[in-house]
Amino acid sequence: MKIVIVGGGAAGATAAQFARKQCRDAEIIVFEKDTYPEYSRCGMPHAISGEIPSFADLVEFSEGWFEMNRIDLRLSTEVLAIDASIKKIESGGPSGASSESYDALIFATGALPSMPRVEGIQSGGKLREGAFIFRSMDDAKALMGWCEASERKVLVVGAGLIGLEVADALNHKGHKVVVVEYLDAILPAMIDPDISEPVASAAREVGIELITSSYVDAVTGDGAITGAKISSRKDSDSRILQCDTLVMATGQKPSTELAGMSGCMLGNQGHIKVDDRCETTLKGIFAVGDCSEYRDMMTGESSPVGLGTLAVKMGEVAGKNAAGGNDRLQKGFLNSRVTRLFGLEIAATGPLASSLSKCGMKVVQSRIKGSTLPLYFPGGDELLVKLTSSEDGSLLSCQIVGKKEAALRIDIVSSLMAAGKGAKDLAQLENAYAPSVAPCVDVLAAAAQGILIKIERKGKG
């Protein structure tokens, strides 16, 4: 059996790992355009901040690991064409052009930066000196090298997860940072606007300026970047903001041109559609990670995959199945997510309120503040919890912000959601209690009780 994997990131490397576990004798080839073996993209902002000592520490599957597991890793090599009818690929790399046949194929091609039009950001077809994207290890190294040379005035375009993590890292290193976001609130794909408010306050407290409902029109300066023209989305007012560094963190788009040309069905946003075996609409061809989409557990809608945890789970399933197994994903993804920004943990599971509304789902919500310790015990940290259920009490989503322990609690909620449990089950949560460790009634149970009270009142209404 011969398995070809296009892309050697987290999803592709995991697929190779589990294909080898499934079939000890399979021939496995991984094609990777990058010059590095699999590394943690999520760790790159922490390498910039200095929390991770060096970029080399981000490598998780070394070239030696691939060799030890008898997996043919071909770095700096791009797959140029695929003929699914005869199961053959064409590639080009340091050794020149070559072709390979395959029995099973896995797309792990990831995503590419999505770049809005900004006048003057390019020179000679390339980004101007001082302008950066943030997708690859080389991108992160270039930004870090630039910022180490001098104290910078940085404009980060995009207040999503990556944009704010980069902003936090550069602020930590002493640079002046401004973040511009097109939408009305920060972290728009992660949490609801009302839950983002304490995060925005924390950003401002550490010295980061946030400008929402705005966009960057143009970059100013004849040679070096001297500023950027920022326009309001609401009233078209504009101003010039002084900066010498521009970081574009405006989202990503799936890298699926090869898959589309091969005949795989793509979704509305260009992602590869897969079933619970991670198999595409073409038998024997699988897709995993950022290039793919799978159904949302709560809404049933097909949704792009954009989290490392999900990429790894998909890699495991696709790797096994490509090597002759019959593994399956769960019935849908909850997109459980977490980050730490500006001294806060921000965690969420399930769809945003806007997504639930688009699907026509009627919801009941509870928003409550609690503490990691009993209120009488010194040292507790505040937790803000937003819990959402359907009108019958089925849990749909949860979002938590606090200095610590948000992630641990979001995992509790996601486990209950995956098991089909509801607000009543969460309200009856039997949690461990000791004054110096945890409160007698956890904030999650209190939020669930709030849901039940609202449902009861509506029933009597």
* pLDDT tens-digit readout, 172-200: 999 999 999 999 999 999 999 999 999 99
The pLDDT assigned to 210 comes to 98
User: Class for domain 115-248, per CATH?
Assistant: alpha beta
Average pLDDT, the chain: 96
**115-248 has the same fold as 2-112+252-322:** yes
What average pLDDT does range 278-302 have in this prediction? Answer: 97
The pLDDT assigned to 458 comes to 85
Residue located via tokens 């209690």: 433
> Please, what is the angle between helix 193-205 and helix 161-172, to 10°?
10
Closest residue by Cα to residue 402 from 431, 366, 377, 372: 372
The pLDDT assigned to 461 comes to 58
Domain ranges of the chain: 2-112+252-322, 115-248, 343-454
Q: Are 191 and 394 in contact (CB under 8 A)?
A: no
Q: What is the dihedral of CA 32, 38, 43, 48, to 10 degrees?
A: -60
Q: Are 227 and 221 in contact (CB under 8 A)?
A: yes
What whole-number distance in Å separates Cα of residue 351 and Cα of residue 359? 11
What whole-number distance in Å separates Cα of residue 263 and Cα of residue 86? 13
The pLDDT assigned to 236 comes to 77
CATH code of the domain occupying 2-112+252-322: 3.50.50.60
* pLDDT tens-digit readout, 436-456: 999 999 999 999 999 999 999
Closest residue by Cα to residue 280 from 248, 321, 239, 309: 321
In this prediction, residue 459 has a pLDDT band, given cuts at 50, 70 and 90, of confident
pLDDT at position 95 over 90: no
Mind telling me the catalytic residues?
A: 42
The pLDDT assigned to 455 comes to 95
Q: Are 392 and 424 in contact (CB under 8 A)?
A: no
* pLDDT tens-digit readout, 79-92: 999 999 999 999 99
What average pLDDT does range 364-368 have in this prediction? Answer: 97
* pLDDT tens-digit readout, 398-434: 999 999 999 999 999 999 999 999 999 999 999 999 9
Token digits of residue 104: 């099973």
What whole-number distance in Å separates Cα of residue 213 and Cα of residue 232? 6
Quick count: other Cβ atoms within 10 Å of Cβ 317?
Answer: 26
CATH code of the domain occupying 343-454: 3.50.50.60
